[in-house]
Amino acid sequence: MKVYPTQNIRNIVLLGSTKSGKTTLAETMLYEGKVIDRRGTVEAKTTVSDNTEIEQIYQRSIYPSLLYTEFMEHKLNIIDTPGSDDFIGGVISAFKVADSGIMVINAQQGVEVGTEILARYAEKYSKPIIIGVNQLDHEKANWENSIDMLRQAFGSKIIPVQFPVQTGLGFDSFVDVLKMKMYHFKDDNGTREELEIPADLLDQAEEMHQSIAEVAAESDESLMEIFFEKGALTEAEILTGIKSGFAKGEIMPVFCLSGKKDVGAKRIMEFVINTAPSPEKSVQTLKDGTTIPCDASGQPSVFVYKNTVEQHLGDVSFFRVMSGKITEGQDLTNPENGSRERFSAIYAVAGKKKEKVTEMVAGDIGCAVKLKSVKTNQTLNGGNKEWVFEEIVFPPSKFRTAIKAKSEKDEEKLGEILNKAHSEDPTIIVEYSKELKQTILSGQGEHHINILKWHLNNTHKIEVDLIAPKIPYRETITKVAAADYRHKKQSGGAGQFGEVHLLIEPVVEGVPAGNRFKVDGRELVLNIKGKEEYTMEWGGKLEYLNCIVGGSIDGRFMPAILKGIMEKMEEGPLTGSYARDIRVFVYDGKMHPVDSNEISFKLAGRNAFKEAFKKAGPKIMEPVYNIEVMVPSDCMGDVMSDLQNRRAIIEGMSSEKGFEVLKARVPLAELNKYSTTLSSLTSGRATFTMTFADYQQVPAEVQDKLLKEYEASEKEE
């Protein structure tokens, strides 16, 4: 395979909802570029991109697949991405290295929720989008409805440059109003003939052509002058205008497609080559905010956007050349850890097919194998450069579960595999919660986690249980209380003795500590001699005030009392959850000249705190999340009812491009498997995001239930 210069490279991300036909279209594009000599099908499990066992079982894309094709003396790098929101991480990583996208629309369904989500990400990352209305050969295909839905979603950006002569099983021709020609396809292998537009379609074509000319003129002032002067633009002038508007994200051209019958694939590739931005026009941003041009004559630098493990190859690192060129056998340095990485071989990638190349220039995308210590989101440089490119920012998790190996002997191996899974897919988050005493696995949805479980069972031969995760509750107090505790132990020889009197009150932001209290009918006036403040690692504060007078407790025992209190805050008195936002005044106590020691005062402080806590109006607080649900209007009632059953507080509703947007605050305890329920209620047409908001007090009935459950578990232990 030859080396392509930067200006002859196009990097495209293939987007679309599940079942829109992205993989079939990609297969056709590779066939047209003669990278493959026959087209596989999803049903026969023979496509280049969906080549893993699990993708073939589900017959859908789960992982982003890097592909390439060669067409019109250009190299097109194509990243075929998953359509399900559960695997959005693969889409976002593709946006980092692609320069534009093709959004594939299922002509039976039109614009789906997934379409809107993906378009929003494209806009966020400033990637211009071409629309391909696919499966126009399906008996239920509806071109007009698809265009109406696109206009409703994206407004005046939608510019159809083609229209089908007919849709359904007989779809074999379309009119291209940019070229003012009709393309007729003689077979299912892309054999096409260019014909004049039939008389009965000419008026429609001319009207659409004039509309495109107007849009093109609006994108360029010089074209606007020509248009006003002549009333028309040439094909080349229209293409110039569209190219300008497309690059700015102001135009979304719409094409006719049947990936299955190879109708329209060549034409959309021609358009990509003539119109989509070349990487040479791009600049890449470093972490410090400076930018680096995509210049083949610059210093060599690559950005690793994905890591995986492939059978027979081992570790595979996928990268984009950000600057300069890289050659076989070249060494590059990782500025984050100082390691040198040798590119012993460089590959152009078409799914599992990997074509060895001698070099790659700025803007190209490929892979290398067996790099020693490079991870996703890392940069490798030559020429003593210390460049570190901006990282890919992945969305927060939407689904969490606890995971445990069925066999204890597999626990260590399970941990290693889960960490490797996170390395390959950063949207899989693994953490051991010391608080909950569980390994918590988080992802983008239940299907996302079930795919990982399938690999654990089938690839790694480890049986695991997925368990409902515990909730990280917090405990605090609502009023002032005092308690004392004497720890006394005698067992021959030196004994143990320590007595602590303390008072506690809630820490309220902006309210300083007082020194006068009325507790149990008596007045307490404290002399504050010292104050220490601690921000707890789990959130909230502890304020520790020394109010000892007359030497009733020696100063050397104060740290031991603090340690006892902190230990009890780490295992709260109510449910064993972390305690927070408490002010403790230690004001009296007793010592023994022989038997007092640190352990005695630690235990006395711990138990005095526990007793005071239970008298101080204790309350349990729960984590609450902000969620935003995008849902079709016909499902709104069901979704809202379900949220209200989950103790949600609805905070707002709005409409956005044909969908309803529902904002609510929901306790984490009520969000277990919410993504699955939402999908069931809306037939997979809704999506949501969730982010931590704050901690709020649980309702009284919920607190009573939690206390009873904790007491029962304590008895069992």
As averages over each run of 10 residues, the pLDDT of the chain (717 residues) reads: 94 94 96 94 92 89 95 97 92 97 96 85 94 97 96 93 96 96 94 96 96 91 89 90 93 97 97 95 92 95 95 91 96 94 95 93 96 94 94 93 95 94 96 92 94 95 95 95 93 84 94 90 91 93 94 94 96 91 96 91 96 95 95 91 96 84 96 92 85 94 91 74
Pick the CATH number of 401-465 from 3.40.50.1970, 3.50.50.100, 3.40.50.2300, 3.30.70.870: 3.30.70.870
Residue 563's closest CA among 589, 528, 534, 523? 534
376, two tokens = 């996703």
Distance (Å, whole) CA 678 – CA 682: 6
317, two tokens = 């690192």
The backbone region for 272, taken as left when phi is positive above 0, alpha when psi lies in -120 to 50, beta otherwise, is alpha
Q: Are 332 and 343 in contact (CB under 8 A)?
A: yes
CATH number of 284-381: 2.40.30.10
| CB count in 10 Å sphere of residue 32 | 19
Q: Are 379 and 335 in contact (CB under 8 A)?
A: yes
Distance (Å, whole) CA 669 – CA 647: 10
Pick the CATH number of 621-702 from 3.40.1390.10, 3.40.50.1220, 3.40.1440.10, 3.30.70.240: 3.30.70.240
Fold matches, 284-381 and 478-617: no
Amino acid, single-letter form, for residue 153: A
Output the pLDDT for position 231. 86
Please give the helix or strand (H or E) that residue 697 lies within, else none. strand 687-697
Pick the CATH number of 478-617 from 3.40.250.10, 3.30.230.10, 3.40.50.620, 3.40.50.720: 3.30.230.10
Distance (Å, whole) CA 82 – CA 366: 19
Q: Are 500 and 485 in contact (CB under 8 A)?
A: yes
Distance (Å, whole) CA 510 – CA 426: 39
Q: Classify residue 310 by its DSSP letter.
A: E
Output the pLDDT for position 591. 94
Distance (Å, whole) CA 388 – CA 166: 52
Output the pLDDT for position 715. 73
Tell me whether residue 701 is exposed, middle or buried, using C-beta atoms within 10 angstroms of its C-beta: 0 to 12, 13 to 18, 19 or more. Answer: exposed
Q: Where are the domains of the chain?
A: 6-281, 284-381, 401-465, 478-617, 621-702
Q: Classify residue 104 by its DSSP letter.
A: E
Residue 478's closest CA among 509, 518, 506, 520? 506
82, two tokens = 């998953």
Coil vs helix vs strand at 419: helix
Distance (Å, whole) CA 706 – CA 713: 11
In this structure, CATH architecture of domain 6-281: 3-Layer(aba) Sandwich (3.40)
Tell me whether residue 43 is exposed, middle or buried, using C-beta atoms within 10 angstroms of its C-beta: 0 to 12, 13 to 18, 19 or more. Answer: exposed
pTM of the model: 0.86
Q: Are 63 and 90 in contact (CB under 8 A)?
A: yes
Q: Strand pairing partners for 697?
A: 621
Distance (Å, whole) CA 92 – CA 80: 12
Coil vs helix vs strand at 714: helix
Q: Are 126 and 167 in contact (CB under 8 A)?
A: no
Q: Are 129 and 102 in contact (CB under 8 A)?
A: yes
**Cα distances (Å, whole numbers) of residue 555 to 236, 529, 530:** 87, 11, 11
Distance (Å, whole) CA 269 – CA 523: 85
Output the pLDDT for position 339. 93
Distance (Å, whole) CA 296 – CA 298: 6
Residue 119's closest CA among 16, 10, 18, 23? 16
Residue 142's closest CA among 115, 111, 172? 111
Please give the helix or strand (H or E) that residue 350 lies within, else none. strand 346-350
Q: How many CA atoms are closer than 13 Å to the CA of 331, on its beta-carbon side? A: 5
